[in-house]
Amino acid sequence: MAVMAIGLSSPLLAQTQSARPATAARTAPLQGTLLVLGDSLSAEYGLTRGTGWVALMTQRLQAKQIKLEVVNASISGETTAGGRTRLPKLLERHRPALVVIELGGNDALRGLPLTATETNLREMAAAARQAGARAVILGMKMPPNYGRAYAQAFSDLYVRVASTEQASLVPFMLEAIADRIDLFQSDRIHPSEQAQPLILDTVWPVLAKAIQTR
């Protein structure tokens, strides 16, 4: 029996090719600068230098050969108002590809209005986006003694800001250690050196996704 060859223009071949699953586009990590704007939780308060979660993140980026230079602009005691004031010059100086915003805890500890905290976070995320950077917001939660309504309102503002400003969100950066008194320093506010790898592991999945780009 003669076998008829199927040419390149054959409808059958075209149908076969169209039925094949499309190959997913490869992703490549961002390059440039990763700016961290935070408070004492990111500024290694009470820790040996080089042991905080930001330093550990830098090491992990290097190990994964992700070419992001980390600039840690965190200051102990910083509020969202302070961060909002400092951010424009930091954006101009470093021109980051990614901005990690870890602020708000001190606002709550000082009893500052939640509306102001939300506005400041929103403005920082918007400024990062307008500067061409992606934003990752690290959320915080207040302990029960602040009252259920206040704690919920505080947690919710991070969700709203991330949603409206197209930022990535880690709902609670201390999720893995919040119930572990043994992983806090004697002030019971600042995480210990042993807690830092757990903090990084909480932040990393969201951060890694933000780093990847088409």
Instruction: Render pLDDT for 3-47 as a digit per residue (tens, 0 to 9).
Output: 333 333 344 334 444 444 444 445 678 899 999 999 999 999 999
User: And the tokens for 136?
Assistant: 């990752």
Q: Is the Cα torsion angle 167, 172, 174, 177 positive or negative in sign?
A: negative
Bridge partner list, 99: 35, 135
At 213 the pLDDT is 59
Domains present along the chain, CATH in parentheses: 27-213 (3.40.50.1110)
pLDDT category of residue 133 using cuts at 50, 70 and 90: very high
Cα angle 42, 209, 120; round to 5: 50
At 27 the pLDDT is 66
DSSP 112-147: --HHHHHHHHHHHHHHHHHTT-EEEEE-----GGG-
User: Considering only 41-55, 112-126, 135-149, 163-177, which range has the smallest mean pLDDT?
Assistant: 135-149
Quick check: helix, strand or coil at residue 168? strand
Quick check: helix, strand or coil at residue 31? coil
User: And the tokens for 17?
Assistant: 């090719």
- Residues with Cβ < 8 Å from 64, sequence gap 6 or more? none
- The more confident residue out of 17 and 204 is 204
pLDDT category of residue 208 using cuts at 50, 70 and 90: very high
Q: What is the pTM of this model?
A: 0.86
At 143 the pLDDT is 86
Which positions are annotated as active-site residues? Answer: 40, 187, 190
At 22 the pLDDT is 46
Q: Is the Cα torsion angle 60, 66, 67, 73 positive or negative in sign?
A: negative
At 5 the pLDDT is 38
Residue 187's alpha-carbon distances to 70, 150, 203, in angstroms, are: 28, 22, 23
Quick check: helix, strand or coil at residue 195? helix
